[in-house]
Structure 1
Amino acid sequence: MRATPVSPEAGGALARELAAAGLPVNDLGQPGRRFFRFDDEAGLVGYGGIEGVGADRLLRSVVVVPARRNAGLGGALVAALERAAANDGARTLYLLTTTAEPFFRRLGYAPVERSGAPAAIAGSAEFRTLCPASAAFLVKPIAA
């Protein structure tokens, strides 16, 4: 699977896919976010992003396009995002989800209390306003 950086300003397809999946798009162009388009030999698989700097990062905006779902590609897409984050110095990934908790738990993410969020995560727009308080908050340590 190939990962290609996507500029949110030039990534209309990114915003369309995220919006269609019910994921936040209001802050895509803000600083500190890196988004990727994932393709394989059959074409577009989906999109995903990493937000923040330092050891604690936010995994966000993970979507597999409808035509490619239920083929095991989501796990490969998340693994590629985890590698990219680890290669950039991240040691822990956090995420918020209202619909995909079982999927992320199968990938090794564990629930954590929102009150335990590090400042870098708790200060993000996704944590503060974009995701509802009812969203599951998950964490996973990642290796370099």
Structure 2
Amino acid sequence: MPEVMVLPELTAQPIPGTDPGLAAALSAAHLPVEDLADPGRSFFAFSDASGAICGYGGYELPGDHALIRSLVVPETGRGQGVGSAMLAALLDKVAAAGAREAWLFTKHAAPFFGHRGFRARARYEVPPPVLATKQASSVCPITAVVMSRPLTA
């Protein structure tokens, strides 16, 4: 019988790409920070019921697609459903904004995203608006795994 996971209740607070907590969390997780302040990105600090920040996440909306980026939970908070809850919140936001498919690039978290409906894709399958983003064209290495999943509003 599959394990039932109860996702924590989180509050998503919009933050600027220049937020020092975002940059520190990404740097600690060895994730890119080069283009956080560029226009067209939306970032959030996720906090629990006590108000403590338990992770960060963000997205871009190139065309009618979403690019999930900068999803990070500090190592001490992993394995508690926080990342799943954050991802679900981001997917809800981009679907409500009209995106029909979510894309991402990852070096180390393919299993996490695979368990949440994303599947690996070849770079030639990436739509031109997503491929034209700075994340896809210069920030993420060519060795990053490309993944996507369809969205429903």
Larger CA Rg, structure 1 vs 2:
2
Q: Distance in 1 between matches of 2:147 and 2:74?
A: 23
Q: Does 1:26 align with 2:34?
A: yes
TM norm structure 1 = 0.95
The aligned residue for residue 147 of structure 2 is 138
**Structure 1 runs not aligned, ≥5 long:** none
Instruction: Give the equivalent residue in structure 2 for 1:14.
Output: 22
| TM superposition shift of 1:66 | 2.5
The answer for the alignment partner of 1:85 in structure 2 is 94
* Structure 2 residue aligned with 1:39: 47
- 1:55 Cα deviation after fit: 1.4
Structure 2 SS opposite 1:90: coil
Q: Which moved more, 1:26-35 or 1:67-76?
A: 67-76
CA distance in 1 between counterparts of 2:14 and 2:63 reads 19
CA shift, 1:28, in A, is 0.4
Q: Is the 8 A contact 1:54 1:89 kept in 2?
A: no
Offset of 1:72 from its aligned partner? 1.5
Normalised by the length of structure 2, the TM-score is 0.90
Q: Which amino acid aligns with 2:24?
A: R
* Counterpart code for 1:34: S
RMSD after superposition: 1.0
Letter in structure 1 aligned against 2:39: P
Q: Is the 8 A contact 1:38 1:46 kept in 2?
A: yes
Q: 4+ residue runs of structure 1 moved beyond 3 angstroms?
A: none
Alignment coverage as a number of residue pairs: 143
- Any gaps of 5 or more consecutive residues in structure 2? 1-9
